[in-house]
């Protein structure tokens, strides 16, 4: 069975909408840590956070607190910058996922161009791998990018499912699924494990898994947090796990 990694960024987004300044002795809510612990209790296999350079939602203290507290896998999404590498080495997540970052975007759009920055990325991840941190690259299911991920020594790739999730016709969806199936097969031949994420939700997750049943982890955030507004986080996580099973 594929595993579920809950991305709790949107919990932090809601908190930051009110509590950007925490110097007044107030307790910021909702709590990212509480969300993570509830998700673990409900059966989530890991927690994902994206520490952005502009700190628009997840904060350094969130990552540190999660690292000290949660019992499941901590996946840190991060840009390939010296600052983020230093932060990962300091906090020691179980794995990092290298992502592109554009400060004008609402959420991460598009995969990382590993091929274009091969030498720079390979140099950046050397200390991470030396520290025992697993490394993943968030990429489109493009053969050149998958090969590049193998060339830099990544342990995983995370296939960007945004184009699949945003497809407006079954034909477009099927075309994209075929790309992912071919990409997964190539990754496995190259010795890479495969995760997937971006835009997956309660309606399309089984369609995706029917085509790629051996994906290791699905990292899902917005859909589950949105569902939790109405049914609670425990039920929202359990419902997604039931679909994945």
The string of pLDDT tens digits covering residues 3-54 is 999 999 999 999 999 887 654 556 789 999 999 999 999 999 999 999 999 9
What pLDDT score does 111 carry? 85
Q: What domains are defined for the chain?
A: 3-244 (3.20.20.70)
Distance CA 85, CA 113 (A): 18
Q: Which pLDDT band, with edges at 50, 70 and 90, does 101 fall under?
A: confident
CA angle 56, 61, 67 (to 5 degrees): 115
> Which residue among the candidates 77, 101, 158, 176 is catalytic per the annotation?
77
The reported pLDDT for the residue numbered 19 is 86
Which is the catalytic residue, given 10, 40, 45, 50? Answer: 50
The predicted pLDDT at position 103 comes to: 54
Mean pLDDT of all residues in 100-119: 75
* CB contact set of 37 (below 8 Å; sequence gap of 6+): 69, 70
pLDDT at 107: 54
Mean per-residue pLDDT of the chain: 94
Highest mean pLDDT among 15-19, 56-60, 98-102: 56-60
Burial 105-130, CB ≥16 within 10 A → b, else e: eeebebbbbbbebeeebeebbeebee
pLDDT digits (tens, 9 = 90+) for 183-223: 999 999 999 999 999 999 999 999 999 999 999 999 999 99
**198 carries an active-site annotation:** yes
> Does residue 50 carry a catalytic annotation?
yes
Identify whether the C-beta of residue 134 lies closer than 8 Å to the C-beta of residue 156.
yes
| pLDDT above 90 (res 118) | yes
């Amino acid at each position: 069975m594929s595993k579920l990694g809950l991305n709790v960024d949107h919990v932090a987004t809601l908190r930051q909408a009110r509590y950007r300044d925490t110097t007044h002795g107030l307790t910021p809510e909702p709590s990212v840590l509480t969300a993570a612990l509830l998700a673990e209790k409900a059966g989530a296999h890991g927690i994902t956070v994206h520490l952005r350079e502009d700190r628009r939602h997840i904060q350094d203290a969130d990552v540190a607190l999660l690292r000290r507290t949660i019992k499941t896998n901590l996946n840190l999404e991060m840009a390939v910058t010296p600052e983020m590498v230093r932060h990962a080495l300091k906090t020691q997540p179980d794995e990092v996922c290298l992502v592109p970052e554009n400060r004008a975007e609402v959420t991460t759009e598009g995969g990382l161009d590993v091929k274009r920055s091969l030498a720079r990325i390979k140099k950046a991840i050397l200390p991470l791998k030396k520290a025992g941190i697993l490394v993943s690259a968030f990429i489109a299911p493009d053969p050149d990018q998958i090969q590049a991920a193998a060339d830099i020594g990544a342990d995983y790739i995370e296939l960007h499912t945004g184009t699949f999730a945003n497809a407006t016709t079954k034909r477009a969806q099927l075309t994209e699924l075929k790309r992912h199936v071919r990409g997964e097969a190539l990754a496995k031949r190259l010795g890479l494990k495969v995760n997937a994420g971006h835009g997956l939700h309660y309606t399309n997750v089984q369609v995706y898994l029917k085509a790629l049943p051996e994906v290791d982890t699905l990292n899902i955030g917005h859909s589950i947090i949105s569902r939790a507004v109405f049914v609670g986080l425990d039920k929202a996580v359990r419902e997604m796990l039931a679909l994945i099973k």
